[in-house]
């Protein structure tokens, strides 16, 4: 059973019900005929229920224990449930996406974790979830996967024979993308990757006809991408070459055509390779643009700003001096982008003018490792988690260290400027021991009215930081009963 946490709500919810009774007489001898009319509730409509879902590791390498799953209510910042997953979890993903193949956002219904005991957990997004309802799926022998992508009917798990990830004692597992399906998830097949390459990540959007498995060369050469056709779950025999050291990717297009382009981050080269997901070839970008697109040093993560037809790339830099964020324009021809273009096929759009242009390279804090875009149609912002110099403790900005060490940078995407630098809290939480502030590594954002929320975790801290987006300031911290591993939101 999950360990129960009792957390007092910061808000008291009150409900009122009123009715008016009107009686009328239709003539002598007639009875009273009361009519009850409900009065419509007054005030703003309730926000849809959504959550931050965090995982934390409660054990150590020498004393491994079950990890902990924590659901936090978006509106009240209260812990709703906790449940155990596998031992020392290291990866979390939910089955939602900023955009689907039709361009719409989705709300998560299921979550997945990878665990250091080489198990694969899945669970429902449900506030009545119990540990006994967390499902475990069997992985192939010696498998220690690096990533999960839940596409819809199939869930793809990326495993490398030469990169054992957190399972340091494991090598020689299958060099493949595992296809799982059903409930509980069962292994359907292993989609084998060329042994000269090491699979690192699988990128796609929910409902897309194709997803892309990213692999690094084992000899330091160019990486490659293998296309998986989701209807047949077959691999295209011809791989697509990308840059050196690819590590991550996102798939988007514009606000109305989400499954049209894939963007692959090449860490070694400092570039982004663009794949046309419809032709299954490297994208033919407009004159004046290049493919791959040159960004900053050590690009590690990206997020989409679909309402702006942009992607935002976090470049870690050298880890000791300020990194940067590259903002790239990625519009496709559409009724709004190119209204007078008679050759614009909305079913198979070409790149619009300006596609691939780096609009800005914005300097942020030290070692930016992840970025989350607040999907706000009127005030889009990017929140960048700066993990800081790992060789020195986290600290608030000072004269000697004006950017601080371990912060969140806020970028206004209308002006492409940093509007706030938020230090990660240094204060302890009463009743929680030990309490250390650590270098943050994960961030997630969700929009809302009157405020959105940004969530930050750290593998060296046993709490999660919550930032309000109306003030761009820390709102509160949430105890996790273990060191933070990752956080996701059920809706953007």
Distance CA 183, CA 481 (A): 29
Virtual CA dihedral for 314, 52, 418, 325, nearest 10 degrees? 10
Which range among 66-70, 438-442, 447-451 has the greatest average pLDDT? Answer: 66-70
Mean of all residue pLDDT scores within the chain = 84
Higher pLDDT among residues 482 and 98, named by residue:
482
pLDDT of residue 405: 87
pLDDT of residue 253: 53
pLDDT of residue 397: 72
Phi first, then psi, for residue 360 (nearest 5°) are -165, 150
Q: Which residues contact 131 (CB under 8 A, 6 or more apart)?
A: 1, 2, 83, 84
Confidence tier at 456 by pLDDT (50, 70, 90) = very high
Least confident of 265-269, 271-275, 403-407, 442-446: 403-407
Q: Give percent helix, percent strand, percent coil of the chain, each to the nearest 5.
A: 0, 45, 55
Least confident of 203-212, 266-275, 323-332: 203-212
Alpha-carbon 300 to chain mean position: 13
Confidence tier at 240 by pLDDT (50, 70, 90) = very high
Instruction: With a cut of 70, say whether residue 25 has pLDDT above it.
Output: no
Tell me the residue length of the chain. 492
Confidence tier at 159 by pLDDT (50, 70, 90) = very high
Distance CA 108, CA 470 (A): 24
pLDDT of residue 189: 97
Arithmetic mean of pLDDT, 293-302: 98
Token code pair at residue 352:
């619009």
Least confident of 34-38, 296-300, 348-352: 34-38
**Buried b or exposed e, range 286-295, using 16+ CB within 10 angstroms:** eeebebbbeb
Confidence tier at 62 by pLDDT (50, 70, 90) = confident
The alpha carbons of the chain give a radius of gyration, in whole angstroms, of 24
Distance CA 115, CA 87 (A): 6
Distance CA 173, CA 274 (A): 30
Least confident of 17-31, 171-185, 364-378: 17-31
pLDDT of residue 337: 56
Nearest in space to 116 (alpha carbons), one of 167, 65, 159, 55: 167
pLDDT of residue 277: 93
pLDDT digits (tens, 9 = 90+) for 317-358: 999 999 999 999 999 887 665 666 667 777 788 898 899 999
Q: Which residues contact 476 (CB under 8 A, 6 or more apart)?
A: 10, 77, 466
Residue 351, classified by CB atoms within 10 Å of its CB into exposed (0-12), middle (13-18) or buried (19+), is buried
Instruction: With a cut of 60, say whether residue 448 has pLDDT above it.
Output: yes
Phi first, then psi, for residue 2 (nearest 5°) are -70, 145
Distance CA 383, CA 418 (A): 10
Instruction: With a cut of 80, say whether residue 106 has pLDDT above it.
Output: no
Token code pair at residue 203:
């990128």
pLDDT of residue 340: 63
Arithmetic mean of pLDDT, 224-233: 96
Confidence tier at 437 by pLDDT (50, 70, 90) = low
Higher pLDDT among residues 169 and 230, named by residue:
230
Cβ neighbour number for residue 1 with a 10 Å cutoff = 8
% pLDDT > 90, the chain: 63
pLDDT of residue 4: 36
Arithmetic mean of pLDDT, 436-452: 88
Confidence tier at 218 by pLDDT (50, 70, 90) = very high
Q: Are the beta carbons of 269 and 243 closer than 8 angstroms?
A: yes
Token code pair at residue 17:
């019900």
Arithmetic mean of pLDDT, 99-126: 82
């Amino acid at each position: 059973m999950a360990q129960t946490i009792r957390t007092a709500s910061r808000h008291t919810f009150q409900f009122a019900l009123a009715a008016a009774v009107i009686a009328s007489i239709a003539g002598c001898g007639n009875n009273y005929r009361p009519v009850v009319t409900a009065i419509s509730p007054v005030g703003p409509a309730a926000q849809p229920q959504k959550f931050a879902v965090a995982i934390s590791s409660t054990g150590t390498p020498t004393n491994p224990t079950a990890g902990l799953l924590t659901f936090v209510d978006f509106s009240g910042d209260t812990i709703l449930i906790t449940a155990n997953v596998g031992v020392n979890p290291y990866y979390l993903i939910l089955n939602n996406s900023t955009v689907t193949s039709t361009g719409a956002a989705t709300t998560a219904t299921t979550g997945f974790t990878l665990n250091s005991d080489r198990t694969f957990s899945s669970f429902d997004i449900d506030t009545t979830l119990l540990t006994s309802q967390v499902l475990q799926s069997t992985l192939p022998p010696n498998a220690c996967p690096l990533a999960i992508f839940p596409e819809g009917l199939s869930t793809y798990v990326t495993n490398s024979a030469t990169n054992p990830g957190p399972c340091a004692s494991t090598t020689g597992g299958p060099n493949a993308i595992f296809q799982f399906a059903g409930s509980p998830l069962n292994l359907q097949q292993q989609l084998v990757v060329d042994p000269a390459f090491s699979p690192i990540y699988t990128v796609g959007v929910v409902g897309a006809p194709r997803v892309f498995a990213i692999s690094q060369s084992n000899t330091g050469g160019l990486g490659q991408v293998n296309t998986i056709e989701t209807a047949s779950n077959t691999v295209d025999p011809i791989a697509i070459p990308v840059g050196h050291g690819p590590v991550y990717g996102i798939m988007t297009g514009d606000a109305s055509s989400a499954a049209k382009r894939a963007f692959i981050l090449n860490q070694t080269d400092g570039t982004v390779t663009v794949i046309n997901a419809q032709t299954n070839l490297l994208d033919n970008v407009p004159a004046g643009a290049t493919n791959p697109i040159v960004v900053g040093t050590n690009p590690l993560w990206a997020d989409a700003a679909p309402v702006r037809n942009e992607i935002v790339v976090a470049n870690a830099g050298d880890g000791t001096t300020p990194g940067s964020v590259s903002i790239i324009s990625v519009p496709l021809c559409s009724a709004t982008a190119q209204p007078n273009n008679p050759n614009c096929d909305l079913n198979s759009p070409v790149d619009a003018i300006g596609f691939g242009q780096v609009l800005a390279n914005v300097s942020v804090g030290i070692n930016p490792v992840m970025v989350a875009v607040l999907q706000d149609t009127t005030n889009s912002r990017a929140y960048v988690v700066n993990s800081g110099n790992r060789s020195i403790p986290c600290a608030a900005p000072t004269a000697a260290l004006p950017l601080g060490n371990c912060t969140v940078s806020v970028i206004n995407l209308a002006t492409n400027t940093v509007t706030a630098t938020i230090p990660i809290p240094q204060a302890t939480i009463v009743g929680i021991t030990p309490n250390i502030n650590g270098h943050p590594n994960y961030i997630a954002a969700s929009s809302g009215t009157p405020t959105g929320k940004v969530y930050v975790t750290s593998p060296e801290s046993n709490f999660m930081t919550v930032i309000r987006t109306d003030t761009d300031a820390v709102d509160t911290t949430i105890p996790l009963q273990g060191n933070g591993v990752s956080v996701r939101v059920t809706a953007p």
